[in-house]
Structure 1
């Protein structure tokens, strides 16, 4: 016997392949035409209705106790998981509640039930089952369904073909898209055939077609040719891509108070660009995350001209000004209160102004930054001023910073160049005799360039991928004898999946090259330790040892960390919590030969929350010989 499932264009909204369903329903009258009644009659009817409801409520337990028993018992004998499938989906279940079935009707139901069972088994790839339905007499009729499913049908051949532009195009992108669709086919030869798997494979192939270049693509033909005699099935699918789509001009609605150049410059969807769903999604995220718009929606009309498709951009503007009050706590700094004011369009210049105040025992600061709107290539001018106080329980460093430059934020790569003035003064509460070279007191002017690339699978909750960044800077000290200096920092963070969980690997290296007499300010030097660097040690506890048990900044930095993150399983399923085991190490010195690692080991629990990871950990400092509790929130690279 040969089963042939032949379908024409089976696509729904957006071209997605859709399964077929057979629906049965029973129509019953549910209402009557309204009639006009006198007001007193209406009141009487309402009172009688209320009394009737009360009586029904009182009699409900008795009625439930006297509810009629099922017309027959139903027993299914089949291998798992087919037994569960049949017990849940057989039509016979529905007829158990019909209490007035006679012998002839039960016999007719048995005949129909056999066909129903075979159709259910066919959805799981069993096309030659042995099905027997026996009727056993007794006080209540008992129907026993016995199933021997036989050999499961497997895919012998799966062919994916194309028509439209993608079939004839010699463009490398079109060729790679064809290969990706064929290579990612979900139901290859040798796999068991199921209706669900067949539908899923068609839907995934169509999704890959629609994701790039061809938003009007569809399934033009699909075939599942089942040979029950050999328990094999040949699959065929033809995808019609239609024409290649290129984006036309943006049609923007919803912009009133902000510069109309903002939307096209933030979206970065140039006219003539080949359609790419991922780039459109990223454009929406840039618009909604820019601070200028509360929401953004981009729609490319698949019915428009493929050579210049209409691109509709609808935005809802954010308020012109915003004030955010925050209350928090960190194990590094203790209780924290923050106040942030944002003005999205400062009068006269049109730039955004972001002012932030932080009240904290160890690290209070005040900062204001002015940011221009992006140009055609995404570059922005920015000016920043910051005053800060840093108390590490040993030294108190008061610093001022003024910065001006440009930055560019991309989907994966950020660039930033700027000129900066730094000044630091250091107080010594213990009155230990120290020099500016020990404490980092001084001032400097420098030019800097920062580059970072993020290649993670998820920007907020990464589980694989890596990020890499470096900073290059050079300048001149302004305190004491003026000396040239150069500063370099390298950072890397990677995630490597394992059979159970993943490894997180982190490293940071830094160096300041300058004459030994150069008074480089502390803001350009290095210290480490704390929640996000080397756990098991206090905030900035790792530095250059000074007299009196003090710790000063150094010119060389080395930090490394290895962390095993393993999902916590409950009832056989992974939860949103991870158990972590880690080893951190860090060192700071004024000479590379003096670098001595400070090691921390510990364990913790991380919650993969919707806004990013939140972690609580306990770490032991091998050098300090103390346990410390650490909390951290969010993911930033």
Structure 2
């Protein structure tokens, strides 16, 4: 009888204990009530600063504060508030903290009158080390850039963040070129709270000039070890330049041979020959890329591209691409050798394409061989070329081979391009120049000599609001009237990248039955205003475009008739380059056309 009684008693205790345990757990999960409410009375954004960083906020969670502790916290909070206000340049504020016994709990009110903001009254920037004594023009220019670019000038409001930012920016300018071991040897912000003025002093110690030493490369297994130094182009003895090192990294990763590259120059090394440490991760020997796209000139397209980074036996790279689209499908293979010590490479190209302009169809073949060189700003290309163009005339129009560009030729060519922009992918200032010189002999009909010249330029001119983009191109082919020059050596224009408001290659020499043939003379000009689009007074990644394009193609100067296109659009300055969406009106064809262009090419 005792055992059943004990079991029943234990069961009753468990039933009673369960609600008590749940109630205790709920009380533990409930957040503790704040010890007091905190009210800050100050101008924005000082109010937000104090609400976020006052130590009083942390002590609100202590629930068992007594009156003595509250009084001590009020005294400490006044000092804390003054220190926070000093970081914003207010060194003589009026701070009053009052205690109000309100319900449901105590309330502390922090009232702040910040007083006048402290401004910079004097700036003294000094130098030590090589930069202080050097008479080299580059060092003098660097000193001038640091002083001229100082970010906290006389008359500007003083804050701790601005002071720290200005010092950091000056140091970055110092170590970016010539002096990677540079440092701040002295800095002082002397604040006079009574006059609300701050006198700033800064001294930069440049240390010695650093010259690059031998290159130490790790990570090379598949490809020739000479590739890294020849692509990086950081010769022994050259002066340390952070921008050139970044550009060298981009050349390595953009070469297709390396998936990643990191270059480090140790500032603790020998200044006369600092070792250049390069770590690379090589790309695969073979790569296949499938692509789909769309252009307003040619419509949808699909492509497949195969890259062999090291062809067995010769070590060259072979890039073969097939592109399918309605108007201009093509097949191409290009082989390039390794660069020599001056950056020159041998190259060869074989290309076959089909161009359908809606009236006639042009089939062309091209074989090219030569050498090219790519440097920091200038590209050069020297090559021999054979080309052949065949024109299909499905409507049996009365057109001669010379009119439509049917023929074959061999030529020698030289191409020079100089790029002096502030950005390779999305420039906003600078200019580019280019020209092509070629001469050869036609191989169709009577063999006739010909000469081809093209010059082009692009200039970005900054304005008080936005910038102007000025673009121009002129081209001419000189030969006898009977010469059957291939269409690939002649000119047609119109479309996304040339004269907007017209179809692709819709500007040329008018022929019978509405056919547009290629011409021997070409001129293109464009003026475009690019204005930033702002949102809440802040510049966004979008720009508004207004433009006027003009193009003309003919066989004689007297026959050049301008075709005008005017329009507007929006540009998105994406991380990989600009994307333009524009609507243009062709004044000669009286039609609106939509144009979509991705990327920057010159």
Same fold (TM > 0.5)? yes
Q: Distance in 2 between matches of 1:621 and 1:430?
A: 27
Q: Give the 3-state SS of the residue equivalent to 1:304 in structure 2.
A: coil
Q: CA deviation at 1:329?
A: 1.9
Residue matched to 1:84: 48
Q: Distance in 1 between matches of 2:195 and 2:544?
A: 49
* 2:238 equivalent to 1:267: no
1:342 aligned to which of 272, 295, 307: 307
1:503 aligned to which of 468, 481, 490: 468
Residue matched to 2:348: 383
1:370 aligned to which of 335, 344, 350: 335
Residue matched to 1:143: 108
Residue matched to 2:82: 118
Which one has more relative contact order, counting CA pairs under 8 Å at least 6 apart? 1
Change (3 A) 1:57 1:204: farther
Residue matched to 2:592: 627
Residue matched to 1:210: 175
**Offset from partner CA, 1:110-130 (integer Å, 9 cap, x none):** 111111111111111111111
Residue matched to 1:99: 63
* 2:451 equivalent to 1:494: no
Q: CA deviation at 1:163?
A: 1.3
Q: CA deviation at 1:575?
A: 3.2
Change (3 A) 1:61 1:378: farther
Residue matched to 2:395: 430
Change (3 A) 1:73 1:315: same
Q: Distance in 2 between matches of 1:394 and 1:533?
A: 21
**Offset from partner CA, 1:313-341 (integer Å, 9 cap, x none):** 11111111111111222222222121111
**Offset from partner CA, 1:559-583 (integer Å, 9 cap, x none):** 1222233334444443333333322
Structure 1: segments with no counterpart, 5+ residues = 1-53
Q: Give the 3-state SS of the residue equivalent to 1:519 in structure 2.
A: coil
Matches within 5 A, 1:281-320: 281-320=246-285
Residue matched to 2:288: 323
Q: Give the 3-state SS of the residue equivalent to 1:613 in structure 2.
A: strand
TM-score using structure 2 length: 0.93
Residue matched to 2:36: 72
Q: Distance in 2 between matches of 1:224 and 1:552?
A: 73
Residue matched to 2:502: 537
Residue matched to 1:413: 378
Q: Give the 3-state SS of the residue equivalent to 2:272 in structure 1.
A: helix
Residue matched to 1:11: none
Q: CA deviation at 1:523?
A: 0.6
- Structure 1 residues 627-636 or 260-269, which shifts more? 627-636
**Matched residue pairs, number?**
584
Q: Distance in 1 between matches of 2:200 and 2:44?
A: 27
Change (3 A) 1:56 1:449: farther
Matches within 5 A, 1:121-136: 121-136=85-100
Residue matched to 2:487: 522
Residue matched to 1:596: 561
Change (3 A) 1:387 1:66: closer
**Offset from partner CA, 1:29-83 (integer Å, 9 cap, x none):** xxxxxxxxxxxxxxxxxxxxxxxxx999998997699644432222222222222
Matches within 5 A, 1:43-58: none
Q: Give the 3-state SS of the residue equivalent to 1:540 in structure 2.
A: coil
Q: CA deviation at 1:371?
A: 0.6
Residue matched to 1:221: 186
Q: Give the 3-state SS of the residue equivalent to 2:77 in structure 1.
A: helix
Change (3 A) 1:55 1:156: farther
Residue matched to 2:155: 190
- Structure 1 residues 574-583 or 390-399, which shifts more? 574-583
Runs of 4+ off more than 4 Å: 54-66
Residue matched to 2:15: none
Q: Distance in 1 between matches of 2:145 and 2:153?
A: 14
Q: Distance in 2 between matches of 1:587 and 1:341?
A: 38
Q: Distance in 1 between matches of 2:446 and 2:484?
A: 8
Structure 2: segments with no counterpart, 5+ residues = 1-17
Q: CA deviation at 1:84?
A: 2.0
Change (3 A) 1:472 1:73: same
**Offset from partner CA, 1:162-192 (integer Å, 9 cap, x none):** 1122222222211211111111111122221
Q: Give the 3-state SS of the residue equivalent to 1:438 in structure 2.
A: helix
Q: Give the 3-state SS of the residue equivalent to 1:404 in structure 2.
A: strand
Q: Distance in 1 between matches of 2:196 and 2:20?
A: 57
- Calculate the aligned-residue CA RMSD, in Å: 2.2
Q: CA deviation at 1:517?
A: 2.0
1:278 aligned to which of 230, 237, 243: 243
Change (3 A) 1:368 1:67: closer
